């Protein structure tokens, strides 16, 4: 009714209530907005703990996120990086990317730590090595369109962008679901699969 997208409303709330440079407080403020004001399709705190645990176990130096949206997952990933590690995050929607850029910088991460790439994942992935300097990803977080999961995993494989032992973490594979991706990951013989059960965000 106001003509202001809810993603922008959420960012205005962050500006008013979050502590700049404190990524954990930025995420907590995001959570308060999503619980009490408007739902946003962020990974949220419950599934966020799974992301944090796997990130801590793996300690990756090169992380790729597909689906930045408002930057919640990006901040979640970036706060768990080791010194010198780098996060590449890809968002197809320019309006969402504009909000995410502000959220990421509000949380205190500069372009040396987090590079936001705007464009369709099927176009960005083949350019990651030459244009963005990503030789191989140790950790991939997929949280974009579910129908793109399998296509993009195969693109990462064909362009040899997955490091040996890389972790691919994909959100919402059961609901709304990415059945072809799940079947491929379980049957192609390249991956060991585990399903982490959690409630929907917020």
Active site residues per annotation: 143, 146, 171-172, 201
CA distance 84 to 193: 29
CA distance 75 to 103: 8
Q: Who's near 104: CB < 8 A, 6+ residues apart?
A: 71, 74, 75, 78, 114, 116
Mapped onto helix, strand or coil, the DSSP state of residue 180 is helix
**Among 107, 108, 129, 106, which residue's Cα sits nearest to residue 117?**
129
């Amino acid at each position: 009714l106001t003509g202001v997208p809810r993603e922008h409303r959420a960012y205005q709330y962050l500006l008013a209530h979050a502590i700049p440079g404190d990524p954990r407080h930025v995420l907590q403020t995001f959570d308060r907005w999503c619980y009490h004001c408007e739902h946003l399709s962020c990974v949220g705190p419950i599934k966020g703990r799974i992301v944090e645990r796997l990130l801590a176990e793996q300690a990756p130096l090169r992380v790729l996120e597909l689906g930045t949206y408002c930057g919640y997952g990006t901040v979640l990933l970036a706060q768990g990086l080791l010194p010198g590690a780098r996060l590449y995050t890809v968002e197809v929607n320019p309006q969402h990317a504009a909000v995410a850029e502000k959220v990421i910088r509000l949380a205190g991460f500069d372009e040396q730590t987090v590079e936001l790439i705007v464009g369709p994942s099927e176009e960005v992935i083949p350019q990651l090595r030459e244009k963005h300097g990503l030789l191989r990803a140790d950790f991939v977080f997929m949280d974009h369109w579910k129908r793109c999961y399998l296509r993009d995993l195969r693109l990462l494989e064909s362009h040899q962008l997955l490091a040996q032992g890389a972790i691919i973490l994909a959100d919402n594979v059961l609901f709304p679901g990415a059945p072809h991706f799940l079947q491929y990951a379980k049957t192609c013989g390249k991956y060991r699969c585990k399903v982490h059960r959690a409630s929907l965000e917020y």
